[in-house]
């Protein structure tokens, strides 16, 4: 694919993340922190997110297998997970975290489990899309908007 | 080699101490004073983002993982104009760390952070001695005015 076309494709891909409600303004803030000195910052942060959060997801999974459920513990895990998800602008994932927490507060185990399944789905979808986006961005190389200009 | 996220984050390596050694960093604000901040957050991702956000706005920032590390740093004589500290820390809680820091006579601006605000959390944290309390993540809309206020008060 010709380079300009590649950049246009990537631009539209990125736009779709916002249009579909997968990402919010917080992601743009991440992009604002990317500069000439740190041109892969966004990808690195997202990688860190998936690394951190896979551990929390495992903890939640294990906790959901307990009987009776420890809603306090689940809530604490979700608190952490929500914080991370919010930090990268993972809008849909964040919404599921909020829902999960409501079910925790209500002591509704079934609600928690159902929400958690949905959360994992959204989480995986976003991961796949972002991985694809970063891979294509790297292939396309820097565009004019990829790095902020230096300002002295 | 451009600094990776690990090298920016790691402890007291050349990139975390001193004043933004990534010399071609685009800094979004400059201040009258050389401002310093301490970030306390046990979640690596949040810690990195909090630190990078503050550094992007021209604040020399150190990040630590635990309340104990924060207390130790302050006890060893490090001073910070601003401290951002998460309420949920694994061993020593955020409020406990703040209590100990305040007990040392520290008058820095301390901002409590949380992913989810509850009224009880807020009350506990204020009782411990924070000045303000915000939901994460750091947003320039609220943290830049705080930095400005601190800068003007020096």
**Could you tell me which chain B residue has the CA closest to the CA of A49?**
B45
- State the Cα angle at A152 between B13 and B15, rounded to 5°: 5
> Which residue of chain A is at minimal alpha-carbon distance from B8?
A38
Taking the C-alpha atoms of residue B38 and residue A152, their distance in angstroms, rounded to an integer, is 26
Which of A26, A36, A83, A142 should one mutate to test binding to chain B, selecting the residue with the greatest count of B CBs within 10 A?
A83
Under an 8 A CB cutoff, do B88 and A82 touch?
A: no
Q: Which residues of B touch A41 (CB under 8 A)?
A: 5, 52
Question: Domains of chain A by range and CATH?
Answer: 3-31+40-140 (1.20.120.160)
Close Cβ partners of A41 (under 8 Å, ≥ 6 residues apart): A30, A33, A34, A35, B5, B52
What would the pLDDT profile of B9-43 be if each residue is shown by its tens digit?
A: 333 332 333 334 444 566 889 999 999 999 999 98
Cα separation, A143 vs B14, whole angstroms: 30
What residue in B sits closest to A42 (Cα-Cα)?
B5
Q: How does pLDDT run across A46-103, given as a tens digit for each residue?
A: 999 999 899 999 999 999 999 999 999 999 899 889 888 999 999 999 999 999 999 9
Question: Which residues from A are below 8 Å from B when comparing CB atoms?
Answer: 26, 29-30, 32-33, 35-41, 44-45, 47-49, 52, 76, 79-80, 82-84, 86-88, 101, 148-151
Q: CB of B151 within 8 A of CB of B31?
A: yes
Closest CB from B26, B48, B115 relative to A148: B26
Average predicted confidence (pLDDT) for chain B: 84
Q: Is the ipTM of this complex over 0.85?
A: no
Q: Which residues pair with B135 in a beta bridge?
A: B114
């Amino acid at each position: 694919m010709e380079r300009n076309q590649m950049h246009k494709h990537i631009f539209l891909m990125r736009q779709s993340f916002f249009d579909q409600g997968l990402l919010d303004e917080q992601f743009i803030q991440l992009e604002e922190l990317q500069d000439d000195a740190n041109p892969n910052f966004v990808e690195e942060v997202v990688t860190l997110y998936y690394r951190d959060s896979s551990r929390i997801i495992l903890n939640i999974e294990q906790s959901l297998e307990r009987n009776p459920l420890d809603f306090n513990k689940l809530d604490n895990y979700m608190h952490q997970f929500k914080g991370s998800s919010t930090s990268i602008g993972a809008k849909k994932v964040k919404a599921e975290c909020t829902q999960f927490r409501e079910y925790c507060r209500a002591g509704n185990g079934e609600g928690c489990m159902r929400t958690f399944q949905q959360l994992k789905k959204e989480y995986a979808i976003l991961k796949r899309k972002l991985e694809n986006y970063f891979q294509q961005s790297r292939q396309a190389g820097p565009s004019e908007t990829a790095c902020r200009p230096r300002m002295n | 080699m451009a600094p990776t996220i690990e090298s920016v984050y790691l402890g007291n390596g050349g990139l975390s101490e001193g004043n933004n050694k990534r010399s071609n960093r685009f800094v979004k604000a400059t201040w009258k004073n050389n401002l310093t901040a301490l970030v306390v957050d046990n979640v690596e991702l949040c810690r990195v983002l909090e630190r990078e956000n503050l550094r992007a706005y021209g604040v020399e920032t150190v990040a630590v993982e635990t309340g104990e590390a924060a207390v130790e740093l302050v006890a060893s004589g490090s001073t910070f104009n601003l401290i951002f500290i998460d309420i949920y820390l694994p061993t020593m809680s955020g409020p406990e760390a703040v209590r100990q820091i305040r007990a040392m006579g520290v008058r820095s601006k301390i901002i409590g952070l949380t992913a989810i605000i509850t009224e009880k959390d807020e009350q506990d944290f204020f009782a411990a001695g924070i000045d303000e309390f915000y939901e994460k993540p750091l947003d320039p809309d609220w943290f830049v005015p705080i930095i400005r206020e601190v800068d003007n008060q020096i």
